[in-house]
Structures are given as structure tokens and as C-alpha cells.
Amino acid sequence: MNICLLQPDLVWEDIGANLEMLDGMLSGVPEETDLILLPETFSTGFTMRAELFAEEEGRGKAHAWMQETSRRKKAFLAGSLITRVNDRIYNRLYWISPEGVRGHYDKRHLFRMGREDRYFFPGGHRKVFTCGEFRLMPQICYDIRFPVFSRNRRDYDILFYVANWPAPRHGIWEILLRARAIENQSYVLGVNRVGVDGEGVDHLGGTCVIDHLGNVTGMLGEESGLLNCTIDLEEIRDFRQKFPAWKDGDKFKLIG
């Protein structure tokens, strides 16, 4: 499976400018790419002016752009948008194929230190999507601190996080990503942004690919750019069979 992770310098609260900028970055995506990943709230930045920038479910400019981009690039596409559903607003990740929307995941753990819990409604269920033979579980930023929610139940091969992870806690980002990969015997992909947002929060990137052993196999620095990787499903399956730590896992009552 060929995956491309985009690490942009997002324009604060400017949907049109971000979509234009991302179009430019997408021109560098290899033709053989199967999946393209974008950061959290990629069309606006991590703004709490949710009422102003929320798109109606299935009808917004960024949502339409995602579908058109997936068709044009002939690849699956995932990233999160501020989305309104009736009287609720979600930080919603869309999973889109060239044929259209295949599903979504609503951020479960809202970042209270950034006031996200005041303006967004939490999701209630974990999701697992498919791309060919691969099973992928999406998570959004702060979700990474809650390992029980992302516990591999032998139902996914790749765990990925889309984020607006800030510079002051940048070192924690890589540590938690590696921990999630090791404990779940899964590849983990972390997609972050760079630049300073409208609240003055800096982001240092660190978009990366981590294998099922916790090894960092690819990482971007503090500049915007693309990170391409290829993941072998048989390699993951063989390791889980040879080292079946999952058989000794504790039984938890899990959500979703």
C-alpha cells in the first residue's frame, strides 16, 4: 500500500487559501498513491470559532473539495473538518474514495485545555475503514493519549492520527506514536502541520511513519512537505503470528 502524508503550513481560518495551497502540494503526490492523509481541521486550522466555520454535513466547500480531489487523484483521502450535524458540531474525519464518501469518524476525546470541549460534541464510536486488504483505524490528535480506546482488537493493520500538535509538547508526539505502534503491533502514521496559528500556537511538524516494532521509518522536519511510504501487509501479519502478544492482552470494557 502506497501512502502520502501531507504536512502543510495552514492559513488561519481561510478555507479557500488552504484548499488552494493543498492543491499545489498535491501536484507532488506520486501517481501510484493509494491513500492521501491530511492534518486535523485542515481547511481552517484548530479554531474554536466553530459556529462560524462549521460546514453543513455533506454540503461544504472543503467537503466537496475532498471528494473531487479523491476522484482526481484516484486515491482514498482522509482528514478532519469542522462539521455541523443538526444542532451539533463535530471535529469529523472523512474517509473518501474516488467513488465518494465511505465513512467518517468523530473525534472522541476533545482537548479541554484548548476549550474544544466547549464548542464541539464528542464522538461515541471508534471506526475501522478499509482500503484494499488493509484495515485502518482513524484517530484525531488528543485521542493519542487514551490507549484503551485505540486498543487493537485484531481488527486493524494501520493506526493513523491526524493532528494540530503544538510545539511545546512536540517531544511527546513521537513518544506516544511509537508507544501506540509497539503495544498494538501496528504501523502508526502521524500527520501534523507546521507554522504558527491565529492563537499564536507554533507547530513543528514531525509527520512520520512508524512500523509495528516502533521504528521510525520516515519523518518530516519543521517545513511543509510530503512524506511517502509503502507498507507491506504480509510483514505485519507474519510478525503478529511469530510474536502473538495480543493473546495475553487484558480484557477491558471498550467503547464503540
**DSSP, res 123:** P
Q: Is 242 among the catalytic positions?
A: no
Q: Which of 4, 55, 131, 141 is catalytic?
A: 141
Amino acid at site 196: V
Q: Which of 40, 116, 131, 208 is catalytic?
A: 40
Q: Which of 107, 116, 131, 208 is catalytic?
A: 107
On the CB side of 27, how many CA atoms lie within 13 Å of its CA? 5
Question: What does the block give as the cell for 124?
Answer: 461515541
Q: What share of the chain is helix, strand, coil (3-state, %, to 5)?
A: 30, 30, 40
Q: Is 229 among the catalytic positions?
A: no
Q: d(Cα 200, Cα 154) in Å, to the nearest integer?
A: 41
Q: Which of 249, 255, 144 is nearest to 206 (CA)?
A: 144
Cα dihedral 144/145/149/151 (nearest 10): 70
Q: d(Cα 16, Cα 53) in Å, to the nearest integer?
A: 12
Q: Is 107 among the catalytic positions?
A: yes
Residues marked as catalytic: 40, 107, 141
